[in-house]
Structure 1
Amino acid sequence: MSRGNERNDIFLNDDDRQIFLKTLGEIAERFEIDIFAYVLMGNHYHLLIRTKRANLSKAMQWLGVSYTRGFNDRHARSGHLFQGRFKSIIVQNDAYLVQLSCYIHRNPLRANSVNRLAHYRWSSYSIYAYGYQKPDWLSTELILSHFTNGERHKAYREQVQGYAKEETRLWEDLKHGMILGSQKFVDKIRRTYGMQTGHQEIPRQKKMAREFNPTSFLVEASKVLNCDLKSLKAANRVSTRDKEDRDLLIYALWKTGALTNTKIGELFGVTYSSVSHSVKSARSKLEENHRLKNNYNRIYSLVRM
């Protein structure tokens, strides 16, 4: 969850909301995050997500910076949009996902924004409750798998409708304001990440995974691709094969979320917009080019942080 600075609105119109949802799709791909549920309120938003890498802080920072930059441009403003760091809760297992999605989807009711959740456009509720078309980046199967196939959407509606009585019980399992699960799970988290007190933040990515070194990655990846890094940096004088390899390396760096487009461009001697073009080109070709797909799979382990 993240809230607007001084509780100010972070969405001023539907264009803002649409752009925010598009940005969610970008972080889902770039940071390999499963997004299960969302709701956009006036001055804050809630997400139910699962990370495949230890990169939640980096992903949420990128989301905030990217959306803020566009918001400020659209509304002729400057400065911070969000209030400090996002608030997150670690969840023990999939059993809590249904309950948490109900909690998130009921936000408009608690805020008296609508009388019926079906009337609220800016959440994933209707996708779950009525089977409306979902964006590609929204993962619904895991939560819906808790219900009988033929009646999944109806059963989910009934679950949400009856959830008001269960909210209190859900938060009884919240430990130290940040971990949702059994005491055994809490103790495991504290041992694993060295938490000494209940209010101490779990170490961020830099303490949970090795530091990513883009220069070392490029050296190792060029060996896998059997290419010359110097030739790839000659922006306007590369062969088709070299350009494909360069686009692939740029895409791999982009996927780490560790570098800005500007920094990636500096590594290859190309512009910010050229990096964006390379990302789109590589993404498209990976779907149809068997050689590139194989090479990407081979360097994937080098990219992981």
Structure 2
Amino acid sequence: MKLEILEKNHYYHIFNRGINSDIIFQDDDNMFYFLKLIKKYLNNNVDIIAYCLMNNHFHLVVKIISEESLATQSFSNLFNAYAKAYNKQQNRTGSLFEKHFKRKKIQDENYLKNLIIYVHKNPENHGLVESFEDYKFTSFHSYLENTSAKEKEYILGLFEDIDNFKYAHKEDLQGFKNLAGLENSNASLNLQNLKDLVGLKDNQ
């Protein structure tokens, strides 16, 4: 499978899971460390628009701000550094993540808005929390803070304002098929919505 090139000044959905769907984050400390490595390795090459860390997979919504080779290498450095540290901590060997992180180019602003909501609501969709607002390893709450990052202002502008941003997250997303390949236990609605959203095929 040919991997999409990470083009400068374009937005992408970056996601992956543990090999064989294994755990990649054992506890909060692992997740905090992963976020620390994101800042270390992705700064100056990638703007993080949204994120969600789950126990066996993660989602990142990003804007590429450097040349393709630098951006791709920064992701490789991030995942390699985390895998090395995790393996040492857990006394394990071998690959931690599935080969080649997935990346999907975001083609329009409506798709970007829906994807941000989906990523933030992922823990609720998986039944880990009753409300996605109670889960701390997403970027949702960072949008509610009074900071003036350029990309944050742009994203909030897509929703018109912070009130509409919060209101949009109240939409019912049950029935979505998550990008780690597992179905939500409450998945009773038509999965076509998510397939349209993230461009997945039936066997993914």
Fold-level match, TM-score > 0.5? yes
- Mapped pair 1:26 → 2:35: no
Provide closer, same or farther for how the CA distance between residues 81 and 97 of structure 1 changes in structure 2, counting only shifts above 3 A: same
Q: Distance in 2 between matches of 1:83 and 1:166?
A: 25
Q: Distance in 2 between matches of 1:173 and 1:146?
A: 17
- Mapped pair 1:43 → 2:70: no
Provide closer, same or farther for how the CA distance between residues 45 and 175 of structure 1 changes in structure 2, counting only shifts above 3 A: closer
TM-superposition CA deviations, 1:204-224 (whole Å, max 9, x none): xxxxxxxxxxxxxxxxxxxxx
More strand by share: 2
Q: Distance in 1 between matches of 2:199 and 2:139?
A: 27
1:140 is matched with 152
In our comparison, the structure showing a higher alpha carbon Rg is: 1
TM-superposition CA deviations, 1:213-240 (whole Å, max 9, x none): xxxxxxxxxxxxxxxxxxxxxxxxxxxx
Q: Distance in 1 between matches of 2:117 and 2:167?
A: 10
Q: Distance in 1 between matches of 2:82 and 2:105?
A: 24
Provide closer, same or farther for how the CA distance between residues 170 and 14 of structure 1 changes in structure 2, counting only shifts above 3 A: closer
More helix by share: 1
TM-superposition CA deviations, 1:92-115 (whole Å, max 9, x none): 134422111001111111110000
Q: What one-letter code is carried by the residue in structure 1 that aligns with 2:119?
A: I
- Tell me if the contact between 2:18 and 2:96 (Cα under 8 Å) persists in the aligned partners: yes
- Tell me if the contact between 2:120 and 2:140 (Cα under 8 Å) persists in the aligned partners: yes
- Tell me if the contact between 1:106 and 1:160 (Cα under 8 Å) persists in the aligned partners: yes
1:116 is matched with 131
- Secondary structure of the structure 1 residue equivalent to 2:102: coil
- Mapped pair 1:158 → 2:167: yes
Give the drift of 1:173. Answer: 6.3
Structure 2 unaligned segments of length 5 or more: list them.
1-14, 177-191
- Tell me if the contact between 1:4 and 1:82 (Cα under 8 Å) persists in the aligned partners: yes
Provide closer, same or farther for how the CA distance between residues 99 and 166 of structure 1 changes in structure 2, counting only shifts above 3 A: farther
Q: What one-letter code is carried by the residue in structure 1 that aligns with 2:88?
A: D
Q: Distance in 1 between matches of 2:156 and 2:175?
A: 19
Give the drift of 1:166. Answer: 11
With normalisation by structure 1, the TM-score equals 0.50
Give the drift of 1:126. Answer: 1.9
Ranked by relative contact order (alpha carbons within 8 Å, sequence separation 6 or more), the top structure is 2
1:256 is matched with none
Q: Distance in 2 between matches of 1:70 and 1:79?
A: 12
Which of 75, 97, 105 is the matching residue for 2:90?
75
- How many aligned residue pairs are there? 169
Give the drift of 1:141. Answer: 2.1
Q: Distance in 1 between matches of 2:200 and 2:89?
A: 39
Q: Distance in 2 between matches of 1:173 and 1:72?
A: 34
Sequence identity, in percent? 27
